[in-house]
């Protein structure tokens, strides 16, 4: 435990633009990422009845909020289609062959029991220090996308702004590790 009177060792602040995202199933989208979040956690609350009032106690289930990242879309749509095809494979809107193709697409992704069907992917959000070295990592387990933003083309726009797409993902859980890989 740290002594509250000890001097501050690191006086640098955490910067919102020093990060690197890696998602195994969609390396092109994650390479062009320009934002990502450390999702919030919500601990459930148990209600304990009492003859005077109800008392709130810590619950036993944590609700992990969505992992959301944005990426710049390349002009060939390769990174956009990477995510879109993943969602299509999970939802197989036309035939079961789509989910079979998704499972065969990246056999190297099978990492654990929950991933036996090869539908999910692990990912890492590396947070960089002020020296641009990995300071800590947020590791996501069993990621899968459920929402991909649209791309709106507009010929009346005079400004040449590049497309950014947003992806919302669910996952089993995440943990935070130091640069040596030890759990914090």
Tens digits of per-residue pLDDT, 153-182? 988 888 888 999 999 999 999 999 998 989
What is the model's pLDDT at position 173? 95
pLDDT in tens, 32-73: 999 999 999 999 999 999 889 999 999 999 999 999 999 999
CA distance linking residue 84 with residue 78, whole number of Å: 10
CATH entry 2.30.110 includes domain 19-40+54-178? yes
Distance CA 119, CA 93 (A): 15
What's the pLDDT at 8? 81
Name the E strands within 24-172. 33-36, 41-48, 55-64, 67-72, 121-128, 134-148, 164-170
Q: Which of 101, 97, 87 is nearest to 143 (CA)?
A: 87
Q: Lowest-confidence range among 3-12, 50-59, 77-86, 122-131? A: 3-12
pLDDT at 96 over 90: no
Q: Residue 28 — pLDDT band, cuts 50, 70, 90?
A: very high
φ and ψ at residue 88, rounded to 5 degrees: -60, -40
Torsion angle, alpha carbons of 24, 27, 33, 38, to 10: 0
Strands 164-170 and 121-128: unpaired
Q: What pLDDT, on the 0 to 100 scale, is given for residue 171? A: 96
Residue 125 has pLDDT above 90, yes or no: yes
Mean pLDDT of the chain: 89
pLDDT band at 113 (very low <50, low <70, confident <90, very high): very low
Q: pLDDT exceeding 90 applies to what percent of the chain?
A: 64
Whether residue 23 is predicted with pLDDT greater than 70 in this model: the reply is yes
Read off the pTM.
Answer: 0.84
| Of 7-16, 77-86, 125-134, 145-154, the least confident | 7-16
* CA 76 distance to own-chain centroid: 24
- Mean pLDDT, residues 118-129: 92
């Amino acid at each position: 435990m740290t002594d509250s009177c000890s001097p501050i060792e690191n006086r640098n602040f955490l910067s919102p633009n020093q990060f690197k995202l890696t998602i195994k199933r969609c390396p092109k989208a994650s390479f062009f990422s320009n934002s990502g979040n450390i999702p919030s956690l919500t601990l459930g609350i148990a209600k304990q009845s009492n003859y005077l009032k109800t008392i709130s106690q810590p619950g036993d289930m944590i609700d992990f909020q969505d992992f959301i990242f944005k990426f710049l879309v390349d002009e060939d749509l390769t990174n956009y289609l990477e995510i879109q095809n993943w969602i299509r494979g999970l939802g197989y809107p036309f035939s079961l062959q789509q989910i079979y193709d998704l499972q065969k697409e990246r056999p190297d992704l099978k990492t654990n029991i929950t991933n036996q069907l090869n539908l999910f992917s692990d990912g890492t959000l590396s947070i960089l220090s002020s020296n641009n070295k990995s300071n800590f990592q947020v590791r996501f387990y069993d990621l899968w996308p459920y929402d991909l933003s649209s791309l709106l083309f507009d010929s009346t726009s005079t400004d040449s702004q590049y497309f950014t797409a947003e992806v919302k993902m669910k996952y089993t859980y995440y943990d935070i590790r130091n640069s040596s890989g030890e759990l914090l």
